[in-house]
């Protein structure tokens, strides 16, 4: 079911503060360009593209010299770890709603290879721990040897994820883990019998009308292209062929995709080394696995991410919505769910944040809160979503703790506040310029000026 866009009702008071922040960041330069979309009270309150998506000193898609490409509102971005909450978490919770998984069951119940040696510590790791990054599993796999570089090795990546050692005790602490979400992606494939990209396309993105959102596995590309190891490259001399078959994706969309960084994964072995990634996932592990993983690999636009955010807000508020989860499931997904969670943690965190912002404001960036998280050692995570951890800067300092969001390494963020019926999307290809700083602080600045301009929470 395709969902029509909500009304576009631009708020003039957002234009100057948001535009100033983004244009100043481009001028530094912190990033080449960005697309910002802000939703409020069921409308699109701000939507604008800034800067460029490809720099002037880089070749065009066909390899020819050309001027810089302007950023456009329909630019498609590698949304990196936003994959975890937009795709993988929803898929897992659909299985939960169907009674096919239980969140507090051990991982080994569904994936026996997770604990082939009957390790009593691994037996304690649950799906809840994977979804809240409290499993004790390490961060990522990309540097575990030269695998998946000359050709994709999905099976090798899954095996490495399932057998990755525990670096901490299960449930002891928050430690962000791509590996945990690779395992969750494998869980979805195992229980549905479908590739993850096929399942989420049909069961998550299509119901939400997210027509520009998909994984881009090179093996399903249709149109002029060639492969360099596991990376796809446009090739104007290649045969176009006929109509693209069902389940494939057309390389025509490469012209709308913002390039990310140069491929710096393993010189001498990687055929794509030092080439610009455009239409190939930037995340090295997802790339080595063929472009589809539970941790990364989805590409999307600001408009589609906005459709997701608005549908989520509508479902949480009990309004008509195409979101493919029940209201009660979304409440579970977007409230603290880490081991040992309780409702008092959010109250205490908000009180601590207000006190710290008054007593010891953030002098490095006055638009950000004093501390993330508000209480040292109290990391609050929903199922798939960030609430109050060191990754929470996109919340800014106006939205309360209890709102939720996520970041992506390529330079993308989404923050959603049900209390004010607001979402803030910043999509950028920050890593396109070597040394570009993380987007989280700038996104937090945008969230703060949004809260002030819309007079949220008395500001």
- C-alpha 285/C-alpha 304 separation (Å) is 25
- 81: annotated active-site residue: yes
Percentages (nearest 5) of helix, strand, coil residues in the chain: 35, 15, 50
Longest dimension (CA), the chain: 66
Dihedral sign, Cα of residue 87, residue 412, residue 414, residue 396:
positive
**DSSP strands (E only) in 281-343:** 298-300
- Phi, psi for residue 254 in degrees, rounded to 5: -60, -30
C-alpha pair distances (Å), 81 with each of 59, 163, 297, 359 = 28, 22, 8, 34
* Rounded (10°) angle between helices 12-27 and 440-453: 160
- C-alpha 113/C-alpha 178 separation (Å) is 18
Q: Which two tokens stand for residue 350?
A: 């908000």
Beta strand 298-300 with 380-381: parallel, antiparallel or unpaired?
unpaired
Q: How long, in residues, is the chain?
A: 459
The CB density around residue 172, as the number of other CB atoms within 10 Å, is: 14
* Residues 46 and 10 sit within 8 Å (Cβ to Cβ): yes
- C-alpha 376/C-alpha 330 separation (Å) is 27
DSSP code at position 62: T
Residue with tokens 């503060």: 17
Catalytic residue among 19, 81, 392, 403: 81
**DSSP strands (E only) in 187-251:** 214-215, 221-222, 225-228, 231-234, 249-250
Give the closest residue to 273 by CA, choosing from 149, 142, 140. 149
Written as one string, the DSSP assignment of 159-192 is: HHHHTPPBSS-TTSS----HHHHHHHHHHHHHHH
Q: Which residues are catalytic?
A: 81
């Amino acid at each position: 079911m395709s969902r029509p866009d909500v009304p576009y009702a631009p708020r003039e008071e957002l234009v100057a503060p948001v535009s100033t922040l983004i244009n100043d960041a481009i001028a530094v330069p912190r990033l080449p360009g960005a697309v910002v979309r802000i939703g409020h009270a069921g409308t699109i309150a701000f939507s604008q593209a800034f800067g460029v998506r490809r720099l002037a000193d880089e070749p065009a898609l066909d390899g020819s010299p050309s001027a810089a490409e302007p950023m456009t509102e329909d630019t498609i971005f590698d949304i990196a770890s936003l994959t975890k909450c937009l795709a993988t978490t929803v898929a897992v919770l659909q299985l939960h709603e169907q009674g096919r998984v239980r969140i507090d069951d051990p991982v080994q119940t569904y994936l026996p290879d997770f604990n082939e040696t009957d390790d009593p510590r691994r037996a304690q790791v649950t799906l809840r721990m994977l979804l809240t990054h409290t499993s004790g599993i390490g961060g990522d796999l990309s540097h575990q040897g030269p695998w998946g570089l000359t050709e994709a090795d999905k099976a090798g990546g899954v095996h490495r994820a399932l057998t990755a050692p525990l670096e901490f005790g299960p449930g002891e602490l928050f430690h962000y883990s791509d590996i945990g979400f690779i395992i969750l992606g494998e869980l979805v494939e195992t229980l549905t019998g479908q590739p993850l990209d096929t399942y989420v396309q049909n069961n998550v993105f299509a119901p939400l009308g997210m027509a520009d959102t998909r994984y881009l596995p090179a093996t399903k590309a249709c149109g002029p292209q060639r492969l360099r190891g596991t990376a796809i490259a446009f090739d104007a001399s290649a045969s176009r062929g006929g109509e693209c078959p069902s389940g494939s994706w057309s390389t025509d969309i490469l012209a709308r995709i913002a390039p990310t960084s140069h491929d710096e994964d393993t010189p001498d072995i990687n055929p794509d080394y030092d080439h610009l990634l455009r239409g190939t996932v930037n995340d090295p592990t997802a790339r080595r696995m063929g472009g589809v993983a539970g941790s990364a690999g989805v590409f999307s636009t600001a408009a589609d991410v906005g459709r997701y955010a608005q549908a989520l807000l509508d479902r949480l508020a009990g309004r008509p919505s195409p979101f493919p989860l029940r209201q009660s499931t979304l409440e579970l997904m977007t409230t603290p769910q880490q081991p040992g969670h309780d409702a008092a943690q959010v109250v205490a965190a908000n009180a601590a944040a207000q006190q710290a912002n008054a007593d010891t404001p953030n002098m490095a960036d006055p638009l950000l809160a004093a501390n993330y998280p508000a209480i040292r050692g109290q990391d609050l995570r929903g199922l798939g979503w960030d609430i109050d951890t060191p990754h929470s800067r996109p919340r800014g300092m106006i939205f309360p703790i209890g709102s939720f969001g996520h970041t992506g390494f390529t330079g993308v963020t989404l923050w959603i506040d049900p209390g004010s019926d607001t979402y803030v999307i910043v999509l950028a290809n920050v890593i396109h310029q070597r040394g570009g700083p993380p987007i989280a602080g700038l996104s937090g600045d945008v969230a703060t000026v949004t809260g002030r301009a819309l007079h949220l929470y008395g500001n």
